[in-house]
Amino acid sequence: MCWPVRRRPADRLRAVVAPPVARAAVAENPAGRMALVAGPVLVLVVLVVGGVAGVVLGVLLAGAVVVHVRRKESPQERRRKELVRADLPFAADLMAECLRAGQPLVGAVEIVARVVDGPLGERLRWAGGQMRLGADPVEVWRGLAAEDSLALLARAIARAVESGAPVADVLTRVAEDARQAGRAASSAAARRVGVQAVAPLGVCFLPAFCFLGIIPVVAGLAAQVLAP
């Protein structure tokens, strides 16, 4: 006689609820964008080139466009990662202080999730709910480590929980590393702005310099050389 196996609440939840990272990836499937860009490219190349060569070239170019669009990050995803990176140092510090005050890990995560808004708060609420229902904390944080902006925090907590290291001390180091990474990213962005601001000026002044400075000199020399 076989008795039915009773599934744990964490197993039932894992079967129906995906991590926020996976849900966001499904919601932002770029198939529509790829079809919108690759379709006109294919039609235009076929009409311009024509014949079998046009079809082959159009398929190749459309495939290249699809690969480029698939690899390119959407503005919504870029904005979400920026918000997570901006809130990460404060969230790590607050979680560390909650742990030092005597809160368990799941309690500290839930407190920070109520304080921190935005995509980071959503992911922390999911992690707290999973751990509250009995899921393995290591597996929960490894699941969140799939997102680049959360990898620093999630991997550090997973390693600390698995090894038994003090999570509060690990979170303090994570907060400092996140602040240093944020300062480095801000400096790099400022340097890019300077380069991007100079490029339009060069595009505007270079033709004028050529027409007013180089072409008259070349024309004068050519007139002297070619004169009888």
Is 177 in a helix, a strand, or coil?
helix
Q: Each residue of 148-190: pLDDT tens digit?
A: 888 889 999 999 998 988 999 999 999 999 898 888 888 887 7
Q: Each residue of 156-165: pLDDT tens digit?
A: 999 999 898 8
Tell the burial category of 99 from Cβ atoms under 10 Å away from its Cβ (0-12, 13-18, 19+).
buried
Domain boundaries, the chain: 34-72, 77-183
As a whole number, mean pLDDT of residues 13-32 equals 48
Phi-psi region of 5 (alpha: psi -120 to 50; beta: other; left: phi over 0): beta
Q: Each residue of 198-223: pLDDT tens digit?
A: 767 666 777 777 777 777 777 777 77
For residue 45, the model assigns a pLDDT of 67
Rounded distance between C-alpha atoms, residue 58 and residue 65, angstroms: 10
Tokens describing residue 144: 């969140």
Contacts of 15 (CB under 8 A, 6+ apart): none
**What one-letter code names the amino acid at 10?**
A
Q: Please give the CATH topology (third level) of the domain spanning 77-183.
A: Receptor-associated Protein (1.20.81)
Query: φ, ψ for residue 61 (rounded to 5)?
Result: -65, -40
Q: Each residue of 131-143: pLDDT tens digit?
A: 999 888 999 998 8
Which of the two residues, 37 and 6, has the higher pLDDT score? 37
Confidence of residue 32 (pLDDT cuts 50, 70, 90): low
Q: Are 154 and 141 in contact (CB under 8 A)?
A: yes
Residue 38 vs residues 24, 27, 59, 82, 224: alpha-carbon distances, Å = 24, 21, 9, 29, 54
**What one-letter code names the amino acid at 28?**
E
